Amino acid sequence: MSYADVLMQRKSDRREVPSDVLSMDVIFELLKNRRRRDILRYLLSTERTVTLSELAEQIAAWENDIEVRELGSDQRKRVYVALYQTHLPKMDDAGIIDYDQDRGNITLSENADLLNMYLDTGTESDTEWEKRYIGLSLTGGTLALFLQFVGLGAVPEVGLAAVFASIFLLVSLFHAYDAHRTRQARRSKLSRIE
């Protein structure tokens, strides 16, 4: 089924399907094109309304692996025309962006998070938790060595172990809570996909 067929079917079923629901076919059709992924990436990074010219320049620069100021007019025009004629209208029809074609303004819509969910690998959040566990382990090991060399007999080893086990437990509980919230948010987004 082509993108047009899926979109036409969605428009004909509009009374049955809420506007914040997308089919998997539409999501993957939109994400299969690199320029549309770049549009999404740029709009997510700027978090504001952008102009078609600004967007076309940035995508052309990424595609040519050069700075925006180094772009030639042909490089700009090629991307501008493709965005204007194909990619932005397709993303607007799907409800991913709000595209004012007359003014050339583009803004992310609420449905953009459905596509971002497939692009987001979650590595940043995972890395943050890894850093916390590593930091806690290094701190505990360093303190244990310090106390051993200084010879502070006043702090029993069992007490020290209990303190660090308690701290590790608290960090683990916060991690579990964060993972639960992430799963809940993902489930909420998945419920908006047909």
| Highest averaged pLDDT of the listed ranges 19-23, 96-100, 180-184 | 96-100
The third-level CATH classification (topology) of the domain covering 3-119 is Arc Repressor Mutant, subunit A (1.10.10)
pTM over 0.85: no
- Residue percentage of the chain with pLDDT more than 70: 77
Distance from C-alpha of 68 to C-alpha of 60, rounded to nearest angstrom: 8
Q: Domain residues of the chain, as ranges?
A: 3-119, 123-190
pLDDT of 152 over the 70 cut? no
The token pair that represents 168 in the structure block: 């590790």
Query: Residue written as tokens 């497939």?
Result: 118
Q: What is the mean pLDDT of residues 146-164?
A: 70
Residue 154: per-residue pLDDT: 59
pLDDT digits (tens, 9 = 90+) for 94-131: 888 999 989 999 998 887 877 777 776 454 555 577 77
The mean predicted confidence, pLDDT, of the chain is 79
Residue 67: per-residue pLDDT: 92
CA distances from 104 to 25, 35, 100 (A): 27, 17, 6
pLDDT of 16 over the 50 cut? no
Strand locations in the chain (E): 50-51, 97-100, 105-108
